[in-house]
A and B are shown apart, each in its own frame.
Chain A
């Protein structure tokens, strides 16, 4: 037993060496990414904060109406968002919204093509599956540390961590949607002379659309759940008051900030959820 503990395999040490090496030799890459992403997300946040809160709420209501044609939904989100303004968390909410939208867009941009590729190549899915399991099960704090070192404090390590954590959802659901395309539909396409590209665009993707949209909403929810953790590395937004409330044992502030997160989650879920399609 002693022998076993005395000859510790320096896994942690190796990991640190790897990150250090990256930091020493490829720092400019990470800083460039950090600056680029930081600037983009900053611009989105500024845009959201520049608009008057009431104008934005009106815009969200219009979007909800346009997507769902439901007065009940509009009647839900307008008072909910007004409550956030009333509580004084509007700016933090907009910062979080920018982070979530940005992270979701990145996840979808990576996840959907990856899911399609995996559905067409079983070996790729075999490789991908353990990786996706890993990103979803490793405690998020663990990869927060290297991203913090590589990308520096601020919103970017939070964004990267969020993407790593949430990207599994669109990959898996896209894979599921594409690979569950019924054989007869594909054969119908083939028998009418569809090329592989046409099969993808005209049969597989339309069939997979509900699953991909489910991936989108899941991605949003997963990103929102990372808000508090992202705040620990300085991402700002609604996570910040939660962390501060935790540090100062401030029950009131914790409750209000938490409520704002829940409201944002419900609003985004309802707005982006695709209406059920009848078959």
Chain B
């Protein structure tokens, strides 16, 4: 992942209507979109959006319906044009302002640089699956034989080779969206716009397609801008999330940032309803080593199971005991595949980026707390109390547990 922004929104305003200038003036005076609509009859789609999307990352635009996230996304390929502001797209070292470029430059971006996946799939019903996938190439005038080769390759990528001669209506929703994905991938464009692509699918298929997308992204490293109204989806897919409310971006950050530090009540409300177990990491739910009781180089890791860890000279975990006396092994965590092989009463030493889901799995197998280690040093511990707090979405709230340490 290089640092250059592939897509850059610079103070983008979108106002729908014939004479947007009065509305823009009111916007500058700080009026909100309801007031502006009452006064001018113009609808503000996006106001003052500034956001950089780095090459190779998945950036999720997230918000309730009507918050302007789709409008903002559609500025990138000119389906909506910014009323004011700059909409920069950088491809192969060349930066183009979509808001002001001419038709030819825009068409070149659309055919070579930016592909799009739609919420309702938008497949052409009179075309077969293969013809749909080849649509973009056909518009570019790519010869038949070359097109067929690309189509076959992309269909194989989404696992639909057997369906190439079927029509869209013969496919399930999930399969139709796979065709939509293959159609977008067929352009080999470095930037992919996804406008709530999985929202119309049932939850199981949605989850499966999310996994497939992440897997493909591992290989393809596209710059993906993904619109979603589902925070769980945003947290799962996004390297970064931009939360929109009332036409404005209210918070931008990594999933964990947003889960831990929501800037306002709107974001906090989203966070309160999300499932934290895939989002929160060990480092944010653990009790740091400073807050644990330490006596003669022995750290009391968890009171409930009476687990203690003796530190070596460098502050790393050397040995562990449970129930105050039984020596138990310490095992370094290497990945989810290892979990089923863990014995009960084993203290697992995990890196700080371990997810809460993994921590829960480990706890379920071993019945012992998990210790968190960074650079060879013990930095914290995750026991039942930490896991419960994490599930309840209150990882920062340690006050109520103060008495626990004394109970040992």
Contacts and interface: CB of A to CB of B under 8 A. Distances in A.
Interface residue range, chain B: 20 to 34
B79 interface: yes
Interface residues of A, number: 21
A155 to B, nearest CB: 38
A117 B187 CA distance: 32
A185 B122 contact: yes
Interface in A183-203: 184-185, 187-195, 198, 202-203
A206 B169 contact: no
A216 to B, nearest CB: 17
Interface in A262-279: 277-279
Interface stretch (B58-66, B94-102, B133-141, B150-158): B133-141
A191 B77 contact: yes
A68 interface: no
B140 A187 contact: no
Contact of A193 (B107, B183, B193): B107
B124 A203 contact: yes
B87 to A, nearest CB: 15
A184 to B, nearest CB: 4
Interface stretch (B47-55, B110-118, B350-358): B110-118
A17 B124 CA distance: 54
B10 to A, nearest CB: 22
A206 B136 CA distance: 16
B254 interface: no
B124 A185 contact: yes
Contact of B111 (A192, A206, A277, A278): A192
A94 B269 CA distance: 76
A37 interface: no
A209 B79 CA distance: 26
A194 B139 contact: yes
Given A184-B120, A187-B122, A188-B122, A193 B79 contact: no
A195 B138 CA distance: 12
Interface in B130-181: 135-136, 138-140, 167, 169
B33 to A, nearest CB: 23
B324 interface: no
Contacts of B123: 188
B125 A279 contact: yes
A272 B127 CA distance: 22
Nearest to B112: A193
A204 to B, nearest CB: 11
A43 to B, nearest CB: 36
Contacts of A184: 118, 120, 122
A213 to B, nearest CB: 13
B124 A191 contact: no
B169 A192 contact: no
A206 B79 CA distance: 22
A28 B111 CA distance: 54
B110 A279 contact: no
Interface string A157-199: 0000000000000000000000000101101111111110010
Contacts of B77: 191
A187 B169 contact: no
Contacts of B135: 188, 192, 202
Contact of B139 (A202, A209, A279): A202
Report, nearest first, the 9 A-B pairs whose CB atoms are least far apart: A193-B110, A193-B111, A188-B122, A192-B136, A184-B122, A191-B116, A206-B126, A193-B107, A279-B169
Given A191-B115, A192-B116, 11 more contacts: A187-B79, A188-B116, A188-B118, A188-B135, A191-B114, A191-B116, A192-B183, A203-B124, A206-B127, A278-B167, A279-B125
Interface of B: 77, 79, 107-108, 110-111, 114-116, 118, 120, 122-127, 135-136, 138-140, 167, 169, 183, 187, 193
30 contacts: A184-B118, A184-B120, A184-B122, A185-B122, A187-B79, A187-B122, A188-B123, A188-B135, A191-B77, A191-B110, A191-B114, A191-B193, A192-B115, A192-B116, A192-B135, A192-B136, A192-B139, A192-B187, A193-B108, A193-B111, A193-B136, A193-B139, A195-B107, A202-B139, A206-B124, A206-B126, A206-B127, A207-B126, A209-B126, A279-B125
